[in-house]
Amino acid sequence: MSTNGPDTPHVPGPSLWPIGFAIGVACLLLGLVITWVVAAIGAVLAVTFGLLWARDVTRDVRGEVPEIRPETRAVSDRAAPAVVAAEEPLPAYTRSRFLEASLIGLSGAMGAVLTLPVLGFMVLPSFTGVEEDEVSLGPLDNFPEGEYVIATYLSHPEQGEVSRRTAFVRNNGESEAGEQSFTILYSRCVHLGCPVQPNGPIDEDNVKKIKNVELRPVLAQSFGCPCHGGQYNSEGNRTAGPPVRSLDRYSFSIRNGNLVLGELYAVGNVNGTGAKATISKYPWSVPGTHVDGLESWLYPIVPTQVTG
């Protein structure tokens, strides 16, 4: 036998809007890693279910406003009997609803405080690129054909040693199209960014210094990272260890007989050697990021800033 009397208010069943809101937020965060399409779907779900949830929570205080009519009195010779009008209860905002709305508001504020800085560090680097200045490495005579030279330079001399960069430069001679070809590898490992070393002796007796540039001949047939064992061949292709792609390369130009370094770009793989090599070029990306294959779908946001 039920104990609920006729005056017992009916309690609404549990709402599914919070679940939809949580799914939308999860899709939004996941989409920031996978693809913008999933992020957009998550944002739409989060906003839609969030509004429905807020509407459901505040439905008790969104009742119709009672109509107020002006008081009228009938004119009569006899005294009208006293009539006591029953006062209709005004819509009330219960304590449980107030606490629920307060908890939702505080949770949303705390979530924004914790989430926005993280999203800023994840997304903003894609829109705040730091471009490297072009650097002249001197005349082409400083680079014997078929041999690597270690070039160290200051990308921003006004910043001092913190802007020092290292590149491995090899003169490949002329290509089939009659253009001068160079292989210029960046010295940072594409695993975690540790400095890569040439596997061969460095000729410290024949160092050439040109302004902020130092050139050291080296007999290198391969390169290795001493931090985690990453190994690369003479073209920068990974041969062993944890690196996820080939060594990054510099674009270059030749001006007035001088070799000028340009921007960095990522390399998926190199087929062939020297001037006959076919290079899979991609926009520069941070170490540890796949730039080709199925894994690249996990890294759709490519930061444009270059860190030393």
Q: What is the dihedral of CA 26, 28, 30, 36, to 10 degrees?
A: 160
The stretch 227-248 carries a mean pLDDT of 92
Q: Could you give the CA distance from residue 156 to residue 163 in angstroms, rounded to a whole number?
A: 6
- Angstrom distance (rounded) from CA 241 to CA 16: 49
Mean of the pLDDT values across residues 113-135?
60
* pLDDT band, residue 88 (cuts 50/70/90): low
Q: How far apart are CA 91 and CA 88, in angstroms?
A: 9
- Whole-number pLDDT of residue 212: 83
Q: Answer yes or no: are the C-beta atoms of 49 and 21 closer than 8 Å.
A: yes
Burial class of 54 by CB neighbour count within 10 A (0 to 12, 13 to 18, 19+): middle
Structure tokens given for 41:
């779907």
Return the domain boundaries, the chain: 15-60+99-128, 135-298
Give the model's pLDDT for residue 118.
62
Q: What residues are paired with 151 via a beta bridge?
A: 167, 215
Please say if the pLDDT value at position 5 is more than 70.
no
- Give the per-residue pLDDT at 305: 41
pLDDT tens track for 261-289:
999 999 999 998 888 888 999 888 888 88
**CA distances, 279 to each of 121, 225, 239 (Å):** 31, 22, 16
Query: What integer best gives the mean pLDDT of the chain?
Result: 78
R_g of the chain computed on alpha carbons? 35
Predicted confidence at residue 68, as pLDDT, reads 56
Average pLDDT in the 67-89 region?
Answer: 58
Indicate whether 24 pLDDT > 50.
Answer: yes
Query: Quick check: 92 and 59 in contact, CB under 8 A?
Result: no
Task: Look at residue 60 in the predicted model and tell me its pLDDT.
Answer: 63
* pLDDT score recorded for residue 3: 53
Q: Does the structure show a pLDDT above 60 at 127?
A: no
Q: What is the pLDDT of residues 143-160, one digit of tens each?
A: 999 999 999 998 887 887
Question: Stretch 198-215: mean pLDDT, rounded?
Answer: 88
pLDDT, mean of residues 54-61: 70
| Tokens 């005294």 sit on residue | 79
Domain 135-298 sits in CATH at 2.102.10.10
pLDDT beyond 50 at 58: yes
Task: Judge whether residue 258 has pLDDT over 80.
Answer: yes
The fraction of the chain above a pLDDT of 70, given in percent, is: 71
> Residue 301: pLDDT above 70?
no
Question: How much is the average pLDDT of 247-253?
Answer: 93
pLDDT at position 308 is 41
